[in-house]
Structures are given as C-alpha cells and as structure tokens.
Structure 1
C-alpha cells in the first residue's frame, strides 16, 4: 500500500468510471440502433460491450482500494471483477487488431487490386485476389470472428475465477494468489503468458498494418496532389486514432509488466524498494489501460461514419 494506490488512484478510477459510463452508454444507444452493415461496425459494437464490462469492475476496485468493504470485497475482486477487467481489456486489444486488419485489407489490398487490374494475367494480381481476406469486411463473417474471439478469451481466463476457490479469511483475502488452488496458480501463469503473447502479436499486426496504410495513403496523396487539404487531415485522424489509443493505453502497461513479473519470481534478486517501485509503476500503467474506456468513443466517432452521422 502507498499514498498513490490508496489516495490518488481511487478517485481517478471513479472519475473515469463516470465519464466512461456516460460515453459508452451513449455509444451503445447509438450503435445498437444502426444495422451491422460492415465488419467494422461489428467489431466496434463488440468493443463497446467489452468497455461496458470493463467499467462494471471499476466500482469494486475503488471500494477495495479505499478499504470500505472489509476483506470480503477483496475476495470479490480476486475471484470475479479482476477476471472481468482483464478479460475485457484483452478483448478490446484483440478487436483493435481485427479492426486494423480490416482497414488494411480495405485500404491497401483494395487499392493494390484496382491498380493491378489492368494486367489480369499478372500472378501478383491473382494472388492479391486470393489472399484479400475480404471476409474480415463481411458482417456475417465478422460476427463469427467476434464470437470465436469471445470464446477463446473466456476459455482461457474464466478458470482464473473458478480456481480461486480456497477458503478466504482476513489473513489471505488481500493476496489473490493465496486464494488460488495449486492448479489455479499454474493456470494463472499459463493464461498470463497467453494474454501477454496476444498483446505482442496484436502490436506487431498493428505496426505492420498501419505502416502499410501510411505508405499507401502517402502515395495516393502524392498522386492526387491533395497534401494539406481537409480531406487528407480527416483521413489521417480516422485511420491513426486507433493506433494512438493503443500505444497510449496498452503499451506502457505491458512494457512495465515484464520487469514486474520478473521481480515477483522467487530468487529474482530484486530489492524490496525495487519491487515496491515496480508495483507502483505497474498500478499507474494499469490505470492508463483502464483509461481506454474513455478514449474508445473517440475511435468510434472518427472511424465510423454511421456512428458519426447518428450522433450528429
């Protein structure tokens, strides 16, 4: 415990809970009135659901950090709301990856296919059509991918709740690992490696997709000579908003998590002060990940014309 975790973070979490609930509640009201006419809309709708689930865990975190609910609230956090928080966070990360792939195949591959249509005998043109992965833009296929994504995360993360089943008391309630069975501790390790690996894979996907998009957009702008125009600026904002939110919210936490995890291992050689500092840093960067619920509506507004027209 520290002043940062006990006095600073709880009011900040409460503020983003209120702001996020207002923004995502409004986004849900808008999104679920419009048809799922594209894969992008399907992925964005699922991001709204993930954000609302993530928001539902914030009040329990605030109450636990303020020590308002006794040791019982810590048991609820360890067994249920912490699992909901991390599951929702990684759902949002995966849907950002799917959105990036959908944008890549819509912008880069479509332009490449149209530019090479003049030479139908070209092997490159044939391969582009075969591997265009247009199903990412198809609403029905996007819905299937969304269901598979939810199922995958639930299968890996739900046992963390079921296996945190040791009898709780005032002594062990504040240490989640003490509430886990031996199998639960092993499953926690495996699911943590799986989740972090998904993040780094998604980061590579985003880097590749947006580097390709930036190159393609730049070349297109040079061809049509629209540099510094309003159209160019709006296009840049809509395309790269998701990249800014991803790097701002999720990258700091996962970079910090590597040394923090190493410091928790037996015989790590980290001093008490180093472990304490890493814990405070981890909690601070985790707050940035939680801030994602307030920034996602910006993505909806900039990327989805249907959402923007409905709102305005």
Structure 2
C-alpha cells in the first residue's frame, strides 16, 4: 500500500486559500453568461437535430456532440451557486461528487466526437461523392455508444470514491473528499484523459493537413473560382480545428500540474493558487466549447442549416401573419351604435 500512501493529499494545504473576489464573483459571472447563451443555442440545436434523420455518420456524431454539450451546460448552475457561495456548503459536496465529474465526462466525450467529425470531414474532402451505407451508419452508432459507456466507466469511480464525510472545511477542496484510492484513481483518469486529448489533437492536425492538400488540389483544378468563394470554403472547413485549439489546448497544458498540486505535496501555497487561477481560466475556455459547437453545426451541416433557416422563416412568417391579423382586428373593432 506504499504507492497509495504516496498519493495522499497533504492535509495542511487545506488552509491554502485563494482570492475570494476572483473565485466568488468573476468566475460565477463568466459561467452565468455561458449558461444563458449555451442553454439557448444548444436547446435550439437539439430541437433542430431531433427533426433531422440520422442519414450520415456526420449527423450521428453531431447529435452526440450536442447531447454532450447540453449535459455539460446543465452542470453550470451548480458550479455558479457553489463558487459564489450562494447556498450551503452541502451543495459544494454534491458538485465535487457528481456535477464536476459529469462536466469532465462530457468534455472528453466532446473531444472524442470532434476527432471523429474531423476524420469524417477528411473522408468527405477526399471522396466528395461518398455516401453512408446502412452498415456504416450502424458502425457509427455502435462506436458512439461505446464512447459513452467507456467514458462513463472511467468517470463513475470518481463519484463513488469521493466518499469521505463532508464538512464545511473539507468541501473547499474536492481532493479532501476522496479516499486514498480515490486520489490514485483521479490521477490515473487524468493521465488517460490526457492521452485521449493528445491522440485526438494529433488526429485533427493530421486530418487538416490532408484536408488542406485536398483543398489545394481542388483549387488547382478549378482556378476559375473567385477569391471570395475560396475564403468562404476555408472558413467553413477550418472551424473545427479553430474551436478545438481555442477551447481545449490551453486547459491541457495546465491540467497535469494542477492535478499534481491537488494529489501530492509538491507545491507551495502561492504556486497552488497560481495553478488554480490558470486551471479555472482555461476551464472556462473549455466550457466555451458548448457555445461554439453550434457554429460547427450551422456552417458544416447542410441539413442542420436548412432545417434551422426553414424553422426561423416559418416562425417569422407566422409572427408577421399574426401581426397583420391583429392590425385588421383592431381596425374592424368599432363600437356598435345602440338602436
């Protein structure tokens, strides 16, 4: 059991506190903005996707991504209330044990599906007339299910092993609620998630190098195409890698040292606070992914864009019709002359 003991959290570090103005005011406000924007955009995206049939691997992966993002957004209110200390310390224990785990669970599901979406986009660039077969659709559904089950199996022990008795003091740091093996598992999962991220980053970079080559070949074949058209295509194609680098890369350069500061006694209090602010700032960028993914759906998925625009046009036409009828009714509404 020596290995487990080496991972035990340094109890004296529980007195290391951070600036309350940043942790209790600024970050809760930032997450409130994300929650309001994200719940609106992803709620609309889910509504649109439920009207679209899963006729391609691409749409199947997008549907899984929007579900993952929606689940992530549902964890924001708990973090906001907990960090702002607007409720009792009991909620902080629930955040540590449940909603924080769900947040990371959905984050890596999104990362995995962005990798699969990128592979699908490369295949589409290389073979524009390729169509999905019933067999490939079944494979995409099985792969999606396997991703959800695998990530859930990794995440569930983090909930179960956050099992120490909660007190107003130890809920301030989630690591204090974990058992000895819980700290070991937390670090193991962190390294597994790092591997998931770096593999997906490599896949996305390689795919976009290949996509760029395909675009250049296409450009050479159709030199008559105008500059504006070329820029529009590039913007659409490269939106995935842009979102990925903005949202996920900064956090993963911060996560390992921050996790070590939580599970091992290797950092001074000032270094722990610096890592905490870096982690929270980059984690907010990661959360921003839930608000940026709908742009991927709109720019890259023709079915999504068509359904959304049709729905908005119908809503606008319906609103205009109601306004016209209201005006007519108001014009006809004259007092009757008594006989």
Same fold (TM over 0.5): yes
Separation of aligned partners in 2, 1:260 and 1:297: 30
Separation of aligned partners in 1, 2:226 and 2:277: 43
Separation of aligned partners in 2, 1:103 and 1:80: 35
Whose radius of gyration is greater, 1 or 2? 2
Report if aligned partners of 1:38, 1:137 keep a CA contact under 8 Å in 2. no
Q: CA RMSD in A?
A: 2.1
1:311 corresponds to 2:329? no
Separation of aligned partners in 2, 1:222 and 1:276: 53
- Please give the TM-score of this superposition, normalised by the length of structure 1: 0.88
Shift of 1:265: 5.8
How many equivalent residue pairs?
Answer: 291
Separation of aligned partners in 2, 1:170 and 1:299: 42
Deviation digits for residues 258-299 of structure 1, max 9, x if unmatched? 33344456453x443233212111110100001111101000
Deviation digits for residues 168-204 of structure 1, max 9, x if unmatched? 1222122211211222222111111111110011000
Separation of aligned partners in 1, 2:135 and 2:294: 21
Change (3 A) 1:205 1:51: same
Helix, strand or coil: the match of 1:138? helix
* Alignment match, 1:155: 153
* Alignment match, 1:174: 172
Map residues 51-90 of structure 1 onto 2, 5 A cutoff: 51-90=69-108
Shift of 1:256: 1.9
Aligned match for 1:15, one of 13, 33, 37: 33
Aligned match for 1:293, one of 290, 307, 321: 290
Report if aligned partners of 2:236, 2:300 keep a CA contact under 8 Å in 1. yes
Helix, strand or coil: the match of 1:52? helix
178-187 or 279-288, larger mean C-alpha shift: 178-187
* Alignment match, 2:139: 141
Structure 1 residue ranges without an equivalent (≥5): 115-131
1:95 corresponds to 2:113? yes
Separation of aligned partners in 2, 1:136 and 1:193: 36
* Alignment match, 2:60: 42
Separation of aligned partners in 2, 1:160 and 1:14: 26
Shift of 1:257: 2.0
Report if aligned partners of 2:112, 2:200 keep a CA contact under 8 Å in 1. yes
Report if aligned partners of 1:101, 1:136 keep a CA contact under 8 Å in 2. no
Helix, strand or coil: the match of 1:69? coil
Structure 2 residue ranges without an equivalent (≥5): 1-17, 310-339
